[in-house]
A and B are shown apart, each in its own frame.
Chain A
């Protein structure tokens, strides 16, 4: 598996899009720090960008790579290698190279502006961790979609829809149900609804760490009680891991049964 991971990782690292992605974050990081001049404010602005962008890039890249590497995959399938090894190796290759672009692209400017000396280092770290998790989760979901659909257009459509659903539509449904069931106690419901969507979960996790928690009022108190403690932090990282694990499990399952 390591060999295949290595191949697809190097393949991607050398590709133009990885550089574009890397330079995008690099420029973004420098621009934010230049305009804001304070590390803590940049972290807040960055959060908005990361929770929208990393899932989107992850989804599109994942689908694109699996479709374009189809011939390479078929070649590999002819060799005496386990199927799960091939697909998991490819998956990890994409996810790792995207994560690397994210971590390096943002890490370098923030390091230059002295994030290590500031108290924001933990918040920044959390931001990168949740960005990485989102990349892993959405690349895995995209791989599933690419494996399930031979038709590229269909695959792309579903992948974009999944991203749109998680990033936008889910919150819309969430909002509507909160407004409609206004009369009922909603704090437990909102806690669960948040955990069912990795994008929302990362957003709340970062928001609470960034001390916006006081804005959240009564609901915030419930959230703070859960997420604010170390157990809550580990629990939510655990949930993000489950979110990564389930699609990976499906990659394995689908790829072992798929007829090429």
Chain B
């Protein structure tokens, strides 16, 4: 809430006439007194507003080193000719709005970006369209920024020669909302970013991850959609991340995940929809995570637990038509499963309280075998495997015998 209020405050400051009342307005267009953005920046004093009129601007790298408001009127195009970065910003209280920025240079040693913000506080980047970028919006060592309603796209084909859409490093209190990110390496990348909020973004067709957290704590991402990425979201080495109401759809491929968790602690994963992913959630070394009210529909593996996972709670989730509901690679279990709905459940409910009278064992013998010898997956849906699973269900030998949902729901949880 504090973040939101703050965001609103910045938004108001940047957009009300109060701001322009302090500074002057400079117009940039081919027929104006000032014809280039670089010239306008040189002439402007801190706090001025630059109105960039519709047109085509090829000025190489544009450096902004004083607080300015840069507003595009009728979508002016700033072209980088695929040489280097385009807007390089190192000042506080920057507003960049309504621009089309295209053709950022590719480099294997430098992080070229369409908009590069370094040590900037209180910035707003909104309503821009960034095309054919290396990095889209690159933020370093900054605080209190808003990135809203931008469209970032590229044509990434290889991980090593592509950049991220929104890349934030060593910053805090960032708000990333309503952006559309496609065909990049990572849609959104957070490294050492704390107290930040990501919402309502759509991240699709990215090579690696739709959203990627590294060493970032106390962040939230709500109501986003991650469709057809290498992996929907990867959360690694992070603490206290809230993940709610997101949709992970069709992250489908031999090494694809909906959500990849590695070394994370104390997270909340609630009300998400995982649909048609190869592995909906891949968990490794993660502790004290609550999975509640999620829907797992038609995934290859719904939850794949690789080990080192303690005190996780799976409650009130729907597991519907997954090839494997839960996969474990050890006989140890310290996680609890309660009140979930499992479409494979075959038990009965004599007292009609909506809870099955027979416990459900979500780990099948076949999923255990596949963990040991991955090649055996070619026997998927064979009659022999069904017989094997049945006999293991009757008397568990290989699968963790305390891994049961003692209170499985009889009907899909709405």
Contact = CB atoms under 8 A, between A and B. Distances in A.
Interface string B361-404: 00000000100111111111111110100000000000000000
Contacts of B323: 212, 215
Given A179-B373, A212-B323, A168 B383 contact: yes
B72 interface: no
Nearest to A204: B378
B414 interface: no
A216 to B, nearest CB: 5
Interface in A175-208: 175, 178-179, 182, 186-187, 190, 194, 200, 203-204, 207
A214 B383 contact: no
A171 B379 contact: yes
A32 interface: no
A172 B372 CA distance: 16
Chain A at the B interface: mostly helix, strand, loop or mixed?
A: helix
B258 interface: no
Contact of A216 (B256, B301, B378): B378
Contacts of B252: 211, 214
B231 to A, nearest CB: 13
Q: Which among B254, B381, B382, B383 has the greatest number of chain A C-beta atoms within 10 A?
A: B382
Contacts of B300: 212, 214-215
Given A179-B373, A217-B374, A219-B374, A52 B380 contact: no
> What is the size category of the interface that chain A forms with chain B?
20 to 34
B278 interface: yes
Contact residues on B (Cβ < 8 Å of other chain), bracket: 20 to 34
A223 interface: yes
Contacts of A41: 321
A68 interface: no
B228 to A, nearest CB: 12
A194 B256 CA distance: 26
A203 B381 CA distance: 8
A47 B383 contact: no
Contacts of B385: 171, 175
Contacts, number: 78
A220 B378 CA distance: 7
Given A212-B300, A214-B253, A221-B254, A182 B373 contact: yes
Nearest to B385: A171
B377 A216 contact: yes
A215 B256 contact: no
Contact of B381 (A47, A194, A220): A47
B35 to A, nearest CB: 53
A190 B374 contact: no
A182 B254 contact: no
A174 interface: yes
A52 to B, nearest CB: 5
Given A168-B383, A179-B369, A214 B278 contact: yes
A214 B254 contact: yes
A161 to B, nearest CB: 15
Interface string A63-107: 000000000000000000000000000000000000000000000
Contacts of A216: 254, 377-378, 380
Interface of B: 252-256, 278, 300-301, 321, 323, 369, 372-385, 387
Counting from the closest, the 3 A-B pairs by CB-CB distance are: A171-B384, A215-B300, A186-B375
22 contacts: A48-B381, A167-B384, A169-B384, A171-B382, A172-B384, A174-B379, A182-B373, A190-B378, A203-B382, A211-B252, A212-B300, A214-B253, A214-B256, A214-B278, A214-B300, A215-B300, A215-B323, A215-B377, A215-B380, A218-B374, A219-B375, A220-B254
